[in-house]
């Protein structure tokens, strides 16, 4: 059995009277992994993470974090974890280094303030009040607060939501650096590109359950295929069975007025599709192809888009 950083079984969180935020969720995260919990808003990602962080009590289910359970000596466990919440307002009238010194004081062992300031690239903001930081800088400070106890396991809840592309890339570098240092990272996101870029493995969560998990590449290949061809015809009238019979086509899905085909060899399937349309005299109104992504996995599994 591998050395697990997080293990949870049949996790349920119910908010009376009738909200079921987490509905029997299973998760295993190995040490040293960067693991992504993906899903739309309201899928139960944050609730799951807050249970793992020991901030919420589950209604039922088993939770083990770093081989320990939350019901005994919780503070010892907290020494080994780093957390960023989905939204934290840090004390507004404190400077970056004052906030970090405060958080550093909570941990018996940890990294120095200088070190974490450098790790998140806030050296020239050390003496700025947190309320004067940009969104991306605030988020990096929140991550720095999570790093200052030198955690074995780091929870990052939507670390880049609402940030501009440059701030996102800066945070990605910080996270990639952590996994290089052998730390375990659990991040939640609804950006599939972020997960593909950072995570060794991901679990896709929908309506409180894990509906698929694996490495991003495996998931895309097994659920969708390699490429997605989307097209629309002016007059419609195509049968799904005809499309499915085209060479190289793995799946066919109606999408709005047209179709989305998932294919493994785009150079074989597209010419065959065009031939077929021409023989029927169907005029093409739109055609595009893209490499399959986790977004396509989510659509294929749920029939919904992630940010709907």
> Where do contacts with other proteins occur on this chain (CB under 8 A)?
50, 53-56, 75-76, 78-79, 81, 83, 85, 87-94, 98, 101-110, 112-114, 129, 145, 149
Please say which residue, 150 or 230, places its beta carbon nearer to other proteins.
Answer: 150
Please say which residue, 103 or 298, places its beta carbon nearer to other proteins.
Answer: 103
Q: Are 6 and 153 in contact (CB under 8 A)?
A: yes
Q: What's the min distance (Å) between Cβ of 56 and other proteins? A: 7
Q: Which distant-in-sequence residues (6+ apart) come within 8 Å of 119 by Cβ? A: 111, 144, 147, 174, 177
Q: Which distant-in-sequence residues (6+ apart) come within 8 Å of 144 by Cβ? A: 96, 100, 116, 117, 119, 120, 122
Please say which residue, 101 or 253, places its beta carbon nearer to other proteins.
Answer: 101
Q: What's the min distance (Å) between Cβ of 250 and other proteins? A: 44
Q: Which distant-in-sequence residues (6+ apart) come within 8 Å of 78 by Cβ? A: 54
Helix, strand, or coil (residue 206): strand
Q: What's the min distance (Å) between Cβ of 81 and other proteins? A: 7
Q: What's the min distance (Å) between Cβ of 44 and other proteins? A: 17
Please say which residue, 114 or 278, places its beta carbon nearer to other proteins.
Answer: 114
Enumerate the H helices of 68-204 as residue ranges: 74-78, 96-105, 113-119, 135-147, 165-180, 192-198
Residue 160, strand partner residues: none
Q: Are 131 and 161 in contact (CB under 8 A)?
A: no
Q: Are 266 and 210 in contact (CB under 8 A)?
A: no
Q: What's the min distance (Å) between Cβ of 107 and other proteins? A: 6
Rounded distance, CA 146 to CA 173, Å?
Answer: 16
Q: What's the min distance (Å) between Cβ of 92 and other proteins? A: 8
Please say which residue, 143 or 202, places its beta carbon nearer to other proteins.
Answer: 143
Please say which residue, 41 or 112, places its beta carbon nearer to other proteins.
Answer: 112
Please say which residue, 95 or 255, places its beta carbon nearer to other proteins.
Answer: 95
Q: What's the min distance (Å) between Cβ of 170 and other proteins? A: 21
In three-state form (DSSP H/G/I as H, E/B as E, the rest C), the secondary structure along 63-84 is EEECCECCCCCHHHHHCCEEEE
Helix, strand, or coil (residue 192): helix
């Amino acid at each position: 059995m591998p050395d697990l950083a997080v293990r949870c079984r049949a996790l349920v969180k119910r908010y009376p009277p009738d909200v079921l935020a987490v509905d029997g969720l299973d998760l295993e995260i190995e040490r040293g992994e960067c693991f992504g919990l993906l899903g739309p808003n309201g899928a139960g990602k944050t609730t799951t993470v807050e249970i793992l962080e020991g901030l919420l009590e589950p209604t039922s289910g088993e939770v083990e974090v770093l081989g320990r359970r939350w019901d005994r000596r919780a503070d010892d466990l907290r020494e080994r974890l780093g957390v960023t919440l989905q939204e934290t307002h840090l004390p507004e009238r404190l400077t970056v280094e004052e906030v970090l010194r405060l958080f550093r004081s909570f941990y018996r062992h940890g990294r120095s303030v200088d070190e974490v300031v450098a790790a998140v690239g806030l050296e020239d903001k050390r003496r700025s009040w947190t309320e004067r930081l940009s969104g991306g800088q605030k988020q990096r400070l929140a991550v720095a607060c999570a790093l200052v106890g030198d955690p074995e396991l780091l929870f990052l809840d939507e670390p880049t939501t609402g940030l501009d592309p440059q701030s996102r890339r800066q945070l990605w570098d910080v996270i990639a650096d952590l996994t290089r240092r052998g730390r375990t990272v659990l991040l939640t996101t609804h950006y599939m590109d972020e997960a593909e870029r950072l995570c060794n493995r991901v679990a896709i969560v929908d309506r409180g359950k894990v509906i698929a998990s694996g490495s991003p590449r495996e998931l895309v290949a097994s659920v969708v295929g390699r490429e997605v061809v989307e097209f629309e015809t002016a007059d419609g009238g195509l049968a799904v069975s005809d499309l499915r019979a085209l060479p190289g086509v793995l799946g066919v899905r109606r999408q709005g007025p047209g179709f989305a085909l998932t294919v493994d060899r785009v150079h074989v399937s597209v010419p065959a599709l065009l031939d077929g349309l021409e023989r029927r005299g169907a005029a093409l109104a739109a055609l595009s192809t893209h490499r399959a992504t986790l977004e396509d996995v989510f659509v294929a599994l749920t029939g919904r888009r992630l940010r709907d």
